[in-house]
Chains A and B, each alone.
Chain A
Amino acid sequence: MAVVITQIFNGISLGSILLLIALGLAITFGLMNVINMAHGEFIMAGAYTTYVVQQAFSQYVPESFFNYYYVAAIPLSFLIGALLGFVLEKTLIRFLYHRPLDSLLATWGVSLILQQVARSIFGAPNVAVTSPAWLDGGIAIAGAVLPYKRLFIIALVTICMISLYLYLDKTAAGRKMRAVTMNRSMASSLGVSTKKVDAAAFAIGSGLAGVAGCALTVLGPIGSTIGTYYIVDAFMIVILGGIGSLIGTVFGALSVGMLGTIAEFWTGASMAKVIVFVAIIAFLQYKPAGLFSARTRSLE
C-alpha cells in the first residue's frame, strides 16, 4: 500500500518537476516557436542565483533569517532568468523568428558560452545549496513519506501555472501576448507593439526557467552543466503536449512523469528512460501534433 501511494506521489512529483522545467519552453517554444537550446542554461542561472542568495544571506543577514533566503531566491531567480532571456531576445532571437532551425543552432552557441562563463565565475565543481530548514521532513501517510520539498515543488509549479494563467488571461499584457501569438499582423494593426510583446514573452519564459533552476536546487546538483540534463526532456514534453497548448504541456509532463516512475519501478532507471522516449516517439507517429493540438488550416 505504502509503495503504491509513494509511487503515485513520485509520478506526480516527477511530473511536476518536468512541468516546471517545460513551462518556460511552453511559452518560448510552444507559443513563440523559438527553439532556445540555451533554455537549460537559464535553469542553471536560476540555480546559481539561489546559491548566490544563500551565500549573501549567510554573510550579511542575521542567522535567524537565514532560512528565508529561499523566499528571496525564487523571485530573484525569475528576474535573472528573465533578464538573460530579455537580452538574448533583443540581441539574437528577434533576428531569427523566421528561421526557427537557425535559432536552434545559434542558441546552442549561446549555451556553450553561458556554461563556460558559469564555470569561470563559480568554478568547475558543483556548489551546494542547503535547503531551508522548513522544507526538511515530510508528511507520513499510510506508511509513505511525502517529502515537503516535493510537495513544495508541486505547490510552486501550481502557483506558476496559476500565475501564468492569470497573467495571460486576466491582464492587458497577457492579452496582448496571446493576440500576438495568434495573429501577429492583426495585433500590430491594433496598435500592439509586437517587439515589446515578443521580448516580454521571451523574458517570462526564460524567467520561468530561472524559477525551475531555483526549485531544482533543493533536489539535485548545482553545476554548470545541469541545464543539459533537462533540455531534451523539456522539448519532448512540449511537443508531446502539443505546441501552443499550455494545458497540453501539463498533461505531457504528468504522463511522462507517471510513465517514467512506473517503468522505473518495474525495470530500472536506464530502461525507464528508454521506454519513455520510445513511447513519446511512437505516440508522435500516431498523433504528430501532440496530445492537445491547435489545428490549423495552413498548408506550408
Chain B
Amino acid sequence: MDKKKLGYWLFFIALFLGPLYLTEFRLALMGKFLCFAIVALGICLIWGYTGILSLGHGVYFGLGAYCTAMYLKLESAGGELPDFMEWSGVSALPAFWQPFSNPVFALGASLVIPALLAAMLGFLTFKNRIKGVYFSLISQAVVVVFVTLFVAKQDWTGGTNGLTNFTTFLGISLSSPLVQIALYMLTVITLGISFALASRLTNSRAGRVLSAIRDGENRVRFLGFNPTSYKVFVYSLSAALAGLAGTLFVLQVGLISPAMMGIIPSIEMVLWVAVGGRHSLIGAILGAVIVNSAKSFFSETYPDIWSIFLGLLFIIVVMFLPNGLVGMVQSWKDKRKKSKQKGGTANATDSVVS
C-alpha cells in the first residue's frame, strides 16, 4: 500500500518537474494532455467504477471551456464588444454574457454549468432506468444538439471559429513562457488533487456502492440504496471534472470551438480511458497521456496515414486488453505471483480495481 502511494507521489512529482526537462513545445503539449487526463479521471469514475458509458463528455468539457473563454474574451475586448459579435451585427452584449466579465463567476460557472446539465440529463434518464447502450446513444444525441446550437448561434458563441485570441488572464499576459509554466504546474496540481479526491471516493464506502451499481444495479436497490441519486451524483461530478479540464485547456491552448465538443472528441475521450484501463484511475490518466502522445507522434511521423495506426491501436486494446494497459501489467504481475507461490488462491482476472 505504501509502495503504491510512493509510486503515485513520484509520478506526480515527475510531472510537476516537467518544465525542467521538457522543451517549451513539449511542455505545452503535456499541459494539454494533462487537461485531458482530468477528463479521463471523470470518465473512469462513471464508466470504470459505475458502469455508465457517456459518449457526451465533449459537451461538458466544452461548456466548461466556454465559460472561462467568455471571461477571457471579455477581458481581451477590454470593455468593448467581442470582435465576433461586431461582425455578427450584435450591438450590445447579450445579458447572459454579462456576468462572465467576473472571473470568479466564470470559473465557478465552468464547474457548475456542466454539472447542472449532467445532473438534469442524468436525473431524467437514470430515474427512467435508461442505461447501457441507450444511455450512451442518448448522450451522443445531446452532443449533436449542443454542437449544432453552438455553431448556429454564432452571434453569441463565435460559431465554428469558437472563442480564441485571448491576451490576458486577470491582467497577466497569457503568452509569456513563465505563465505557461505556471499554468502547466497548476494543471499538474489540479490533476493531482482530482486524482486524490477520486481515489478517496472510490476507496470509500460510497465508492463501493458505485462499483456495486456497476455489477448489479438492481441488487443495490435491494440493499436499500437508491442507485439513481448515486449515478446522478457521480455523473455530475465527472461533468464538473470535464468542465474544470476545459478551463485549464482554454487557459493553455487559448482556444475553444464547437468542434472540440463534437462526437469524435467525445468518443476519443472514452478511448483514452479504455486504452489506459477503465477500472483504474491512474490508468485513465496514463491512457489520456499515452493516446494523445501516440496521436501526436503518429501524425508528426506519418501525416498521411496516421489515423490507420490510431484505429489499429483502439482495436487491439479493446480486443486483447479489455482492462487496458494497467490491466495488462496487473495480470502479468498476477501470473508471476501465482507461479512464485504455486497453489495459492486463484486470483480473479477481472479485479483490477486499484
Chain B residues whose CB sits within 8 angstroms of the CB of A284 once the complex forms: 130, 134, 138
7 residue pairs, one from A and one from B, having the closest CB atoms? A109-B314, A112-B311, A270-B152, A113-B311, A109-B311, A106-B318, A109-B315
The chain A residue sitting closest to B322, CB to CB, is: A102
How many angstroms between the C-alpha atoms of A101 and B43 in the bound complex?
14
- Of A66-74, A167-175, A193-201, A271-279, which stretch is located at the interface? A271-279
Contact with A along B287-326 (1 / 0, CB 8 A): 0000000000000000011011011111100110010000
Interface size on A, residues (CB 8 A): 42
Selected interface stretch from B140-148, B189-197, B232-240 = B140-148
Render B215-241 as a binary contact track against A, CB cut-off 8 A, 1 for contact.
011100000000000000000000000
* CB atoms of A109 and B310 under 8 A apart: yes
Interface assignment of A12: CB less than 8 Å from any CB of chain B: no
When distances are taken between beta carbons in the complex, the residues of chain A under 8 Å from B267 are: 37, 105, 108
Selected A-B contacts with CB under 8 Å, 18 pairs: A35-B136, A96-B319, A101-B53, A101-B136, A102-B318, A104-B53, A104-B136, A106-B319, A108-B271, A109-B313, A112-B314, A239-B134, A239-B137, A273-B144, A284-B130, A285-B128, A285-B130, A299-B218
B141 near A120 with CB under 8 A, answer no
Number of interface residues of B (CB under 8 A): 42
Instruction: Judge whether A109 and B312 touch: CB under 8 Å.
Output: yes
Do the beta carbons of B308 and A281 come within 8 Å of each other?
A: no
* Interface pair B315/A92, CB less than 8 Å apart: yes
User: CB within 8 Å of B: which of A241-300?
Assistant: 268, 270-271, 273-274, 277-278, 280-281, 284-285, 288, 299-300
**Cβ–Cβ < 8 Å partners of A115 in chain B:** 307
Q: Does any Cβ of A come within 8 Å of B263's Cβ? A: yes
Listed residue (A108, A117, A274) with the most chain B CB atoms within 10 angstroms of its CB: A108
Given contacts A102-B274, A109-B310, 13 further A-B contacts (CB under 8 A): A33-B133, A35-B136, A101-B53, A105-B270, A109-B315, A110-B315, A113-B307, A116-B308, A117-B308, A120-B304, A277-B148, A288-B130, A300-B216
Known: A115-B307, A300-B218. A273 touches B148 (CB 8 A): yes
Interfacial chain A residues near B271, Cβ < 8 Å: 105, 108
Are the C-beta atoms of A236 and B311 separated by less than 8 Å? no
Secondary structure dominating the interface of A: helix
Number of A-B residue pairs at CB separation under 8 A: 113
- Is there contact, CB below 8 Å, between A288 and B128? yes
Contact pick for B141, options A35, A105, A236, CB 8 Å? A236
B319 pairs with A92, CB closer than 8 A: yes
Whole-angstrom CA separation of A277 from B140 in the bound complex: 10
Residue B167 interfacial (CB < 8 Å): no
Whether a CB of chain B sits under 8 angstroms from the CB of A95 is: yes
Once the chains are docked, how many angstroms separate the CA of A218 from the CA of B270?
36
Taking a contact as CB atoms under 8 Å apart, the answer to whether B124 and A278 are in contact is: no
Q: Assess whether B353 is interfacial by the CB under 8 Å rule.
A: no
Shortest distance from the beta carbon of B268 to any chain A beta carbon, whole Å: 9
Does A100 contact B132, Cβ atoms closer than 8 Å? yes
- Asked whether, in the complex, the Cβ of A270 is within 8 Å of the Cβ of B124, the reply is no
Q: Is B151 an interface residue (CB 8 A)?
A: yes
Which of A104, A111, A115, A280 has the most C-beta atoms of chain B within 10 angstroms of its own C-beta?
Answer: A104
The answer for the CA separation of A253 and B169 in the assembled complex, in Å, is 48
Say how far A298's CB is from chain B's closest CB, in angstroms: 11
Q: Which of B53, B130, B141, B149 contacts A232 (CB 8 A)?
A: B141
Q: Chain A: which residue is nearest B215 at the CB level?
A: A300
Rounded to whole angstroms, the CA-CA distance of A95 and B318 in the bound complex is 10
- Chain B nearest CB from A252 CB (Å) reads 13
> In the complex, what residue of chain A is closest to B129 when comparing beta carbons?
A288
Q: In B108-163, which residues have CB < 8 Å from any A CB?
A: 124-125, 128-130, 132-134, 136-138, 140-142, 144-145, 148-149, 151-152
Smallest Cβ-Cβ distance to B271: which chain A residue: A105
